[in-house]
Amino acid sequence: MLKGDLIAFLTITVPECVASSVTGSSPGPTSRRSRLAARRSKNWDDRVAELEQLASTPGFSSLREQIIALGRLNRNDRVLDIGAGTGLLALAAAPRARHVCALDVSPAMCRHLEDKLARLPIANVDVVLGMANELPLDDESVDVVLSNYCFHHLSDAGKRQALDEVRRVLRPGGRVVIGDMMFHVGLSGARDRALIARFVGRMLRRGPAGALRLLKNAIRHVAGRGEHPAGADWWRRALEDVGFAEITVRALDHEGGIAVARRNR
Ligand SMILES: C[S@@+](CC[C@H](N)C(=O)[O-])C[C@H]1O[C@@H](n2cnc3c(N)ncnc32)[C@H](O)[C@@H]1O
């Protein structure tokens, strides 16, 4: 592993745009499929309350507003939200679209979102348990795909598989808008270096707890359970390779970025 890679992985824990704390994990998923996914990333079943908190922060609210605006939804659109979590995007998209499929790999997250929906006057959202890289949807059955802070939990190969799946389920001409951690894991770019310095500084200012978090992250990474953010260049190339056009990838003033593209006809 490159020195830069290690430093970066020591630091990746929580979105810089949120800068909150993250707690541990324990078993929970019920299906084989979700167990497999949980092994590959975090166990999201234990993180429902934490994610509900993150979703209410100004950082995530701002991402929601930007992603929804870039989705340019209309009342006939069938929308897919990948890694829907507690419904940040799905609930915002529902009043603007015909139908929303809120897909997530975590059974607990799905149950939580279903409970929320039962208390809301929203009838056009279906919650679906599934994986980003094996979408349980028909070909060309979706007009707009949205996603926020899910893809960096997939390896680069997993992200590409998921993008293939996004292309498959999108109708020709359909749009995809993905918000995610977007920076290169390394020290070669000025933005990457500044982000990493900020992350490390933030952790170290927390004292022993922060240093412990850095250590835990390093262990998670070495065990193959780390996060996998990709830089804007990676996203541009991957979207192009998979068969998207009109691609724009914008880095935000934190570690995040938003990619927008249209499926070729
Ligand atoms: C950081 S949360 C973001 C949730 C929501 N999009 C938001 O912005 O509040 C990431 C979500 O992605 C889900 N997730 C992680 N890996 C996934 C995968 N391979 N397929 C589908 N969902 C996944 C997690 O269960 C979690 O709900």
Asked if 75 and 47 sit in the same domain, the reply is yes
Report CA-CA distances (Å) from 250 to 8, 65, 233, 260: 21, 15, 10, 9
Asked if 139 and 76 sit in the same domain, the reply is yes
Asked if 132 and 22 sit in the same domain, the reply is yes
Asked if 215 and 234 sit in the same domain, the reply is no
Asked if 46 and 75 sit in the same domain, the reply is yes
Q: Which ligand 1 atom lies nearest to the CA of residue 131?
A: 20
The contacts of residue 51 (CB under 8 Å, 6+ apart) are: 44, 85, 86, 109
Is there an atom of ligand 1 within 6 Å of 166 CB? no
pLDDT (average), residues 186-198? 76
- How large a percentage of the chain has pLDDT more than 90? 65
pLDDT at 184 over 80: no
Asked if 125 and 97 sit in the same domain, the reply is yes
Is there an atom of ligand 1 within 6 Å of 91 CB? no
Predicted local distance difference test score (pLDDT) of residue 8: 42
Is there an atom of ligand 1 within 6 Å of 100 CB? no
Asked if 91 and 202 sit in the same domain, the reply is no
pLDDT digits (tens, 9 = 90+) for 23-55: 223 333 334 454 444 444 578 999 999 999 999
Q: What is the CATH number of the domain that holds 63?
A: 3.40.50.150
List the single range of 55-59, 148-152, 200-204 with lowest mean pLDDT: 200-204
Listed in sequence order, the DSSP H helices in the chain are 3-11, 32-40, 48-55, 58-71, 88-93, 107-118, 156-169, 190-205, 208-222, 232-242
- Residue 111: which domain range? 2-183+229-263
pLDDT (average), residues 155-164? 97
Predicted local distance difference test score (pLDDT) of residue 18: 57
The per-residue DSSP string of 15-84 comes to: -TTT------------SHHHHHHHHHS--GGGGHHHHHHHHTSHHHHHHHHHHHHHHT--TT-EEEEET-
In whole angstroms, give the CA distance from residue 144 to residue 240: 17
Asked if 160 and 30 sit in the same domain, the reply is yes
Asked if 213 and 256 sit in the same domain, the reply is no
- Ligand 1 pocket check: which of 82, 150, 155 to mutate, most ligand atoms within 8 Å of Cβ? 150
Mean per-residue pLDDT over the chain, rounded: 85
Asked if 54 and 160 sit in the same domain, the reply is yes
Is there an atom of ligand 1 within 6 Å of 70 CB? no
Report CA-CA distances (Å) from 47 to 35, 54, 149, 186: 15, 10, 14, 28
Is there an atom of ligand 1 within 6 Å of 17 CB? no
Asked if 201 and 240 sit in the same domain, the reply is no
Domain count, the chain: 2
Predicted local distance difference test score (pLDDT) of residue 196: 75
pLDDT digits (tens, 9 = 90+) for 89-128: 999 999 999 999 999 999 999 999 999 999 999 999 999 9
